[in-house]
Chain A
Amino acid sequence: NAGVIQTPRHKVTGKGQEATLWCEPISGHSAVFWYRQTIVQGLEFLTYFRNQAPIDDSGMPKERFSAQMPNQSHSTLKIQSTQPQDSAVYLCASSLPWGSSYEQYFGPGTRLTVL
């Protein structure tokens, strides 16, 4: 089992460019979560999908950020017109629900740097 795969591991964009981050969840896991991690804000929830359906996007900035899960094997997080404040490590996690709770398994993250 390769674990959660995130690509690319590092991405550098210029201000105003678009960035697309990819996540491949663990095979058989039904939920995918996206988080953003910075020194100042810590680990922030962005959005999550269950069985490919968007369930909660309350943490997503309303403009410029969007997430999709077109099939059970991958999810994408797209940031349009990137800004320096978007620089962070973006983490994806997947889980196989047990009972009413989830154990989340994280990928290594994508470090986004916006110049």
Chain B
Amino acid sequence: QQQVRQSPQSLTVWEGGTTVLTCSYEDSTFNYFPWYQQFPGEGPALLISILSVSDKKEDGRFTTFFNKREKKLSLHIIDSQPGDSATYFCAAESSNTNKVVFGTGTRLQVLP
């Protein structure tokens, strides 16, 4: 059972454009939502995270939005750069188990 659904599977944007990735979930015990960035040959690296008590968190060009009622979250990357080309994973952690469930990932390509 896929507990965290992520879309799109892949995405291509032009340099300077805005990238939007989305995820949805069903488990109401999820309360912590990190986004990870992974480059080929490396492990995932924490990019930005948000708690369920917040609806927005911003870090430079990266912003994550959280909608508790709809059980959805999104990652926005403004002024996308070729160096942002990577695979992005949303994830969710349950307050009951402290176990993190990952989405299927979005492969982003930013073209110069």
Chain A residues contacting B49 (CB-CB under 8 Å) are 103
- Is A65 engaged at the interface, CB distance under 8 Å to the other chain? no
B81-108 to A contact mask, C-beta < 8 Å, 1/0 = 0000000010001010111111111000
Contact-residue bracket for chain A:
20 to 34
Residues 2-51 (chain B) with a chain A CB within 8 angstroms: 31-32, 34, 36, 41-46, 49, 51
Chain B residues contacting A103 (CB-CB under 8 Å) are 34, 46, 49
Report whether B105 and A4 are in contact in the complex, using a CB–CB cutoff of 8 Å: no
Residues 38-58 (chain A) with a chain B CB within 8 angstroms: 42-43, 45, 48, 50, 55-56, 58
Chain B residues contacting A100 (CB-CB under 8 Å) are 31, 95, 98
Report whether A108 and B43 are in contact in the complex, using a CB–CB cutoff of 8 Å: yes
With A43-B89, A43-B102 as contacts: A101 and B31 at CB distance below 8 Å: yes
14 intermolecular pairs with C-beta atoms under 8 Å apart: A42-B102, A48-B98, A56-B97, A91-B43, A93-B43, A101-B93, A101-B95, A102-B100, A103-B46, A104-B100, A105-B45, A106-B36, A106-B44, A108-B43
Residues of B at under 8 Å CB distance from A?
A: 31-32, 34, 36, 41-46, 49, 51, 89, 93, 95, 97-105
